[in-house]
A and B are shown apart, each in its own frame.
Chain A
């Protein structure tokens, strides 16, 4: 027996019978990444991801093929070896085109696995769908109603027509199974966390902590849990009966206690810090911003006005002629609620134009349907009371240069003042965090938490609007989850940071034309399913929920519209795995990418050349293992690609083999079925 003694990273090794460095390293438990290496076929030696260094000569050698010499000192974990491997991966990523994750999932602030829950919904598996949703979104009944749908904004289907009605999948799955579905909960670890605020962020933190075996106590200043969902979002958008059903789930989970009417004072805060293993602050953004105009105290502010109605079961007196100042969602909530309280003259005043309004388009549209007037390029300068009427003096504006937000700055037009008479004036121009004294705040007055871990100091974490400023429910639950898991890591003495995740993307739909789409199946051509609205009359005269949950039939049809953008090899891609290990990034090296198309002719196999890393394993598997010769390399240089003879495509009989598909280290050759 032929033995060669040598060293890897200073440790003595023995290569027997012509073993390569890789083989010896594997036996010794030293991990070396590989891409083109596959034990089923002869060596290719092309990817250079497995390089190691000969310490003496300084040469880099591919460990998959290199047989060590006696006494040779091989370096496998040296910085320069990592750098070489990283560069090889950076280069591969620079030519690799695909979507590791679907754009919907990437754009979801909570990174819910959108494509997956949509697929389950399409197939009628709503319980499975809900299970996937709740991995990231613990409040799907509520979010299924009020989410601004970041996912739909980035949905690839936009290239063709309208996005998939993603949020409706959540709403139906949750409506159907909110009661049935109960998560598996591990035994309690003994650790306990205090959460301040039972809004979406606080509930989310408690939820994900419980799923990790951590109990929590939530201190809520209001009479009921729900935060902005209860006291900010009007009944007609999110019926509180539904919210109650959803929050009841926290009771069911157990080991989460919600103490209402408990405002946490600074003193109490110090006690909590002492008593609990961690404190998560999720106090929201409840302080209304000032209008900065004379007499503003005569106006109601939107957030308090809505809050008072919420505490009165959404009953209130007719506000008469109403002026709402502001262009955000709260302003929309105020105008639409005013209509429902009986006002037949509601006007929204906004200092820029409709294009710059931060409110969702659908909210503006529905408000208009309900008879709300809009006055754009108008700003209040003075509010006064004359007899029993309020008189608002406004000034006309015009748009100037873009400001820091990228929107064009409104500039006052001189001598353009005019008066409007009203019974009620509501200012809905923004909210601020009412930070607990002693807590670090940033320049916007929000809590200053670490961007990644959401840690504020020692055992204190923060999440939700109080960190981000007034934002969305889905962002709040994402933050709550992060804060919860960071607190968990801290309690376990581990690093808070989440592992690096890379995402290769074919690009935003705005930059893509329909011929650049890669479709594994044949998505339906039908138009987006429409929500059923209640009568306009009812909308204007009652607090009844405006839309109905889509039916299972509608969802099944809608699901067929999904392009299923994400990679077929998701979770099974060696390029992604190694890139994340070595810190390689898709945009580290930029350059032309091949958008050469893909071969979808085979009934069950998709050949996506844009993902191919040219390792040649498929070619060799087909010729050396299967004894066919269906695949080969074509062209030269950067344009080298794997293809079939005369581009005839793979024969149908490949369905019965699929050996190439099984061995492809990325998703270049894959089954169409996900």
Chain B
């Protein structure tokens, strides 16, 4: 095998400048084999190049769009090589993402070369019932966040006798900071589609629809090309039927990730959930039996079928089988996508993979805006559906946001509520008005205008919103606040009673102070203050100061700090 230069040109890579690098590679090194691949998950290192040789792969992170630099990369100059941390390599378990960032996404031949569509072939050699049973026995649970047993869901649809049966891939990934599904669709669209085709075979579905958010143009483009290849190869033709495959672009509503809202959206209606039952497998899209799985769930299927249920179930915990992909973000050294076995501890993910200093972390938020925070003291918790639930957090779709020591937990929960209350579809009273009122309460508290009754109100209304909402959005929206109240009540009380933000983050409760002891009177702070809040004696007028931090950042002697206000 000759040398192959692979560059990650997923959305994330392009955003980091991979396009410019690619142009230089193509223009200046026409003889080198350059392949565009998806994202390896090491977001912190983008743009990232892998040089594949007979002696193995060499990685170059944060590469520059510069001929001389890239020459060194092609020559495999070890001095600029990026070594991924060993702890990460040890802890990761790349099964679903094994081909992510390794092959050109839309090239069906390269996918087939790498065992692609072998699982479909194997499934087609089995009876549909056998395939459903295989999925059941593997213990795969929905990766979208709900954790419903996938095989069981398949069996519901399989049991239906209808003229049209629809399988929908939920690709409306909307949690802020989560991009597992996008990466899979951009990097291995064929793997997701293979999972869907196996599902269609096993459940007797006649149609496959991918409901993908329109904000993922590359995912849609890659899926579209992949669908055409599938049709050209006849992979969607079973002995008794041809399965249609199409993409439906979502219009950008977070709530459309909820299955009944998603179906409404597919039907051309406003995306709003409805009461269940009837469940979609009884009456879904246009009234036909419909089953919805998440992108990552489908991504698991080819792996599961290829290696068999036993091998699949050998990874993970008793009730949570296989691996999970997480999008690691927040106050973390190595943000990116990681695939880890279920049951790994939060400690391992945050400290060993994320490279976070244990002294600098306060908590981690799982499940995005629908989840809850878990304090650092509980980082020994294994990551599985049930353990996270018991802590008031959720597995969710895989967002994992690390919250550093200097973050205010009240502000953090306000931030998440800001997102969910806007995204409520406006249907259920508790969700529409309740989340708004919770958000307003949190705004008051972070602005230093809170009263103790506000905390009582949050604790009273939160569980009611969860109990009085039709869909997952409302049922989980109060979680970030309730979990924060559970573990960081003292921070709420400090804001409300002492009018103090312990993390010194909430501007309304913080003053800026210059300590003259080390001050060298360089006047940089005065020059940089946009509102002239610092006088010639280096005293900050906190009535004028906007807490923009400019002075703190420019002070060469670190004399300026945020301090407790009032």
B436 touching A591, Cβ below 8 Å = yes
Task: Please determine whether B433 and A636 come into contact, CB atoms closer than 8 angstroms.
Answer: no
Residues of A within 8 A of B272 (CB): 633
Which residues of chain B are within 8 angstroms of A66 by Cβ–Cβ distance? 275
| Most chain A C-beta atoms within 10 Å of own C-beta, residue among B277, B429, B469 | B429
- Residues of chain B contacted by A43 (CB below 8 angstroms): 275
Asked if B52 CB lies within 8 Å of chain A CBs, one says no
Q: Chain B 405-448, CB within 8 Å of chain A: the 1/0 string? A: 00000000000000001111111111011111100100000000
B467 touches A636 (CB 8 A): no
- Is residue A589 within 8 Å, beta carbon to beta carbon, of the partner chain? yes
- Asked if A48 CB lies within 8 Å of chain B CBs, one says yes
A67–B433 CA distance with the chains assembled, in angstroms? 27
Q: Is B356 an interface residue (CB 8 A)?
A: no
User: A88 at the A/B interface (Cβ < 8 Å)?
Assistant: yes
| Minimum distance in angstroms from A48 CB to a CB of chain B | 4
Task: Give min CB distance, B466 to chain A, whole Å.
Answer: 10
**With A46-B470, A84-B468, A589-B437: A637-B422 Cβ-Cβ less than 8 Å:** yes
| Contact across chains for B440 and A592 when beta carbons are under 8 A apart | yes
Q: Does B253 contact A (CB under 8 A)?
A: yes
9 pairs from A and B in contact (CB 8 Å cutoff): A46-B470, A49-B429, A60-B468, A88-B468, A91-B437, A91-B461, A589-B437, A636-B423, A638-B435
Contact status B429-A47, CB under 8 Å: yes
A306 cross-chain contacts in B, Cβ below 8 A: none
Q: Which residues of A contact B275 (CB under 8 A)?
A: 43, 45, 62, 65-66
Contact (Cβ within 8 A) B427 A46: yes
Residues on the A chain within 8 Å of B433, using CB: 91-92, 94-95, 638
Number of A-B contacts (CB under 8 A): 94
Q: Is the CB of B426 within 8 A of A637?
A: yes
Q: Hey, which chain B residues are within 8 Å of A87, CB to CB?
A: 430, 460-461, 464, 468
Q: Contact mask A1-19 → B, CB, 8 Å, 1/0?
A: 0000000000000000000
Give the docked Cα–Cα distance between A66 and B440 (Å): 32
One of A67, A94, A637 near B423 (C-beta < 8 A) = A637
- A636 to B469 alpha-carbon distance, docked (Å): 16
A interface residues with partner B (beta carbon < 8 Å) = 43-49, 51, 59-60, 62, 65-67, 84, 87-88, 91-92, 94-95, 589, 591-592, 613-614, 616, 632-633, 635-640
Nearest-CB distance from A399 to chain B (Å)?
A: 32
| Cα(A160)–Cα(B469), bound, Å | 43
Flag if B440 contacts A92 (CB, 8 Å). Answer: no
Contact B432 A640 (CB under 8 A): yes
Contact between A88 and B426 (Cβ–Cβ < 8 Å)? no
Complex: how many Å from CA A59 to CA B463?
A: 11
**Does the CB pair A48–B429 fall under 8 Å?**
yes
| A51 touching B428 in the complex, CB below 8 Å, given contacts A45-B274, A94-B433, A636-B423 | no
Q: Is the CB of B270 within 8 A of A635?
A: no
Nearest-CB distance from A458 to chain B (Å)?
Answer: 40
Which residues of chain B come closer than 8 Å to A47, judged between CB atoms? 428-429
A60–B422 Cα gap in the complex (Å)?
A: 25
Distance between B467 CB and nearest chain A CB, rounded to angstroms: 5
Set of chain A residues within 8 Å of B435, measured between Cβ atoms: 637-638
CA distance A315 to B470 in the complex (A): 78
Q: Chain B contacts of A49 at CB under 8 A?
A: 429
State whether B440 touches A614 (Cβ < 8 A): no
Cβ–Cβ < 8 Å partners of B84 in chain A: none
Asked if B148 is at the interface (CB within 8 A of a chain A CB), the reply is no
Q: Judging by beta carbons under 8 Å apart, are A638 and B436 in contact?
A: yes
Annotate B125-149 by CB proximity to A: 1 below 8 A, 0 otherwise: 0000000000000000000000000
Asked if B457 lies at the interface with its beta carbon under 8 angstroms from chain A, I say yes
The 3 closest A-B pairs by CB, nearest first: A640-B426, A45-B275, A91-B433
Interface residues on B, range: 20 to 34
Whether A614 and B427, one on each chain, are in contact in the complex, defined by CB atoms closer than 8 angstroms, is yes
Report whether B470 and A45 are in contact in the complex, using a CB–CB cutoff of 8 Å. yes
How many angstroms between the C-alpha atoms of A51 and B428 in the bound complex? 12
Is A637 in contact with B421, judged by CB distance below 8 angstroms? yes
Residues of B within 8 A of A65 (CB): 275
Note all chain A residues with C-beta closer than 8 A to B422: 636-637
Contact A637 B427 (CB under 8 A): no
Closest B-chain residue to A35, C-beta based? B429
Whether A637 pairs with B467 at a CB distance below 8 angstroms is no
Complex Cα distance, B429 from A440, in Å, reads 49
Q: How far is the CB of A447 from chain B (nearest CB, A)?
A: 37
Assembled-state Cα–Cα distance A118/B146 (Å): 60
> What is the distance, in angstroms, from B492's C-beta to the closest C-beta of chain A?
19
Closest to B253 in A: A636
Let me know if A636 and B437 touch, CB within 8 A. no
- The contact of A636 among B274, B424, B434, B460, by CB within 8 Å, is B424
* Cα of A355 to Cα of B277 in the assembled complex, Å: 67
Partner of A48, one of B253, B270, B274, B430: B430
Give 1 or 0 for each of B212-237: 1 = CB within 8 Å of chain A CB: 00000000000000000000000000
Q: Which of A88, A95, A632, A637 has the most CB of B within 10 A?
A: A637
Residues on the A chain within 8 Å of B440, using CB = 591-592
Q: Given contacts A62-B275, A638-B421, A640-B432, is CB(A614)–CB(B426) below 8 Å?
A: yes
Measured CA separation A43–B457 after assembly (Å): 31
Contact among B270, B437, B467 for A84, CB-based, below 8 A: B467
Kindly state the separation between the CA atoms of A65 and B470 in the bound complex, as whole angstroms: 11
**Shortest beta-carbon distance, A369 to chain B, in Å?**
50
Q: Are B426 and A636 in contact (CB under 8 A)?
A: yes
- B457 A589 Cβ-Cβ under 8 A: yes
- A145 to chain B minimum Cβ distance, whole angstroms, is 47
Contacts of B270 in A (CB 8 A): 632-633
- Find out whether the CB atom of B421 lies under 8 angstroms from the CB atom of A51: no
A636 to B460, CA, bound (A): 24
CB-based nearest B residue for A88 = B429
Chain A residues contacting B467 (CB-CB under 8 Å) are 51, 59-60, 84
CB distance from B343 to the nearest CB of A (A): 28
CB distance from B29 to the nearest CB of A (A): 49
Expressed in whole angstroms, the Cα–Cα distance for A44 and B426 within the complex equals 12
Contact residues in A for B470 (Cβ distance below 8 Å): 45-46
Q: Which of A43, A59, A589, A592 has the most CB of B within 10 A?
A: A589
A588→B359 CA distance, assembly (Å): 43
In the assembled complex, how far is the CB of residue B19 from the closest CB belonging to chain A, in whole angstroms? 34
**Nearest-CB distance from B265 to chain A (Å)?**
13
Q: How far is the CA of A589 from the CA of B460 in the complex (A)?
A: 12
Q: Name the distance in Å between A268's Cβ and chain B's nearest Cβ.
A: 53
Are A46 and B464 in contact, CB atoms less than 8 angstroms apart? no
Q: Check A637/B468 contact, CB under 8 A, given A46-B427, A48-B430.
A: no
Assuming A637-B424, A637-B425, A640-B432, what are 6 further A-B pairs, CB within 8 angstroms?
A48-B469, A51-B467, A92-B433, A95-B436, A589-B457, A633-B272
Asked if residues A636 and B425 are in contact (CB atoms below 8 Å), the reply is yes
Does the CB pair A614–B468 fall under 8 Å? no
Contact yes or no, B432 A48, CB < 8 A = no
- B436 and A46 form a contact (CB under 8 A): no
